Amino acid sequence: MSERRPTLRERQRSETRRVIQAHAVRLFTDRGYDAVTVADVAKAADVSAMTVFRHFPTKEDLVLIDQPARLIAERVAASPATHPLVRRVGGALVDAATALTGRDGDEPAANERFLLDCLKLMVSTPALRARHLDSQYALQQAIVDALGDDAADPDAAFRAQAATGACLAAMHTALTRWAEDNGQTKLPELIARALAASFGDDAVATGRRD
């Protein structure tokens, strides 16, 4: 069965959302999160404040991005069920970071710069740190669901939750370093290093389907 293509309305909605968020992150980065209002974002994006709220119910939502979570869950679901849990989750984290942060030679690609700017805002802004924590809990559950273990087996569920939580803690360390050094080191490399430091080299055997 072929994948359903987005309708024109869906594509227009996605583009409007992308433009609003791009302007919001730029303004937050330039002026500071607390100094920018939703009205400022609406004016920069040439839309109404109501349109901004239609796409982003809260100001904090303007900085949060859900694409990585979807991609990570997809990579976990596609990983071999015979592999150890940490390897499945860790490999998906590195693979997703690789897909999201493609570089143009030594220069960060636009998408990578955007992700870095969002992360730096979340690290430096208390209100966003709280929302980031909420998003991490949601990501953990999405990964656990993607692992496909028997939810009726308490031991299997516990193992999946523990492995996922530990991998996400390692990724958080990598993300913090990435923000601190302004993206000088490639994010996939940092995540792989954090996973290897936590679990050993076998946890980062990515790009394989053996």
Percent of the chain with pLDDT strictly greater than 90: 69
Structure-token match 């997703």, residue found: 96
CA 11 from chain centre, in angstroms, equals 21
**Rounded to 5 degrees, what are φ and ψ at 88?**
-65, -50
Q: Return d(Cα 167, Cα 142) in angstroms, integer.
A: 14
pLDDT tier at 55, thresholds 50, 70, 90: very high
Tens of pLDDT, residues 64-113: 887 789 999 999 999 999 999 999 999 999 999 999 887 544 445 678 89
- pLDDT in the model for residue 205: 63
CA 158 from chain centre, in angstroms, equals 23
Q: Return d(Cα 25, Cα 36) in angstroms, integer.
A: 10
Give long-range contacts, CB 8 A cutoff, 24+ apart: 9-17.
13/55, 16/47, 16/51, 16/55, 17/55, 17/56
DSSP 125: -
Q: Please check the confidence at residue 6 and state whether its pLDDT lies above 90.
A: no
Tens of pLDDT, residues 77-87: 999 999 999 99
- pLDDT in the model for residue 196: 95
| Mean pLDDT over the full length of the chain | 89
As a whole number, mean pLDDT of residues 41-50 equals 97
Q: How many CA atoms lie within 13 A of 125 on its CB side?
A: 23
Closest C-alpha to 72, from 92, 87, 88, 90? 92
- pLDDT in the model for residue 101: 87
- pLDDT in the model for residue 167: 97
Q: Please check the confidence at residue 209 and state whether its pLDDT lies above 50.
A: no
- pLDDT in the model for residue 148: 86
Residue 84, SS3 per DSSP: coil
CA angle 79, 131, 188 (to 5 degrees): 40
- pLDDT in the model for residue 133: 85
Q: Comparing 52-56, 99-103, 145-149, 191-195, which segment has the lowest mean pLDDT?
A: 99-103
Residue with the larger pLDDT of the pair 148 and 142: 142
Contact status, residue 201 vs residue 115, Cβ threshold 8 Å: no
Q: Return d(Cα 24, Cα 55) in angstroms, integer.
A: 12
pLDDT tier at 208, thresholds 50, 70, 90: very low
Percent of the chain with pLDDT strictly greater than 70: 90
Provide the residue type at 181 as one letter: D
CA 208 from chain centre, in angstroms, equals 22
Q: Enumerate the β-bridge partners of residue 107.
A: 104
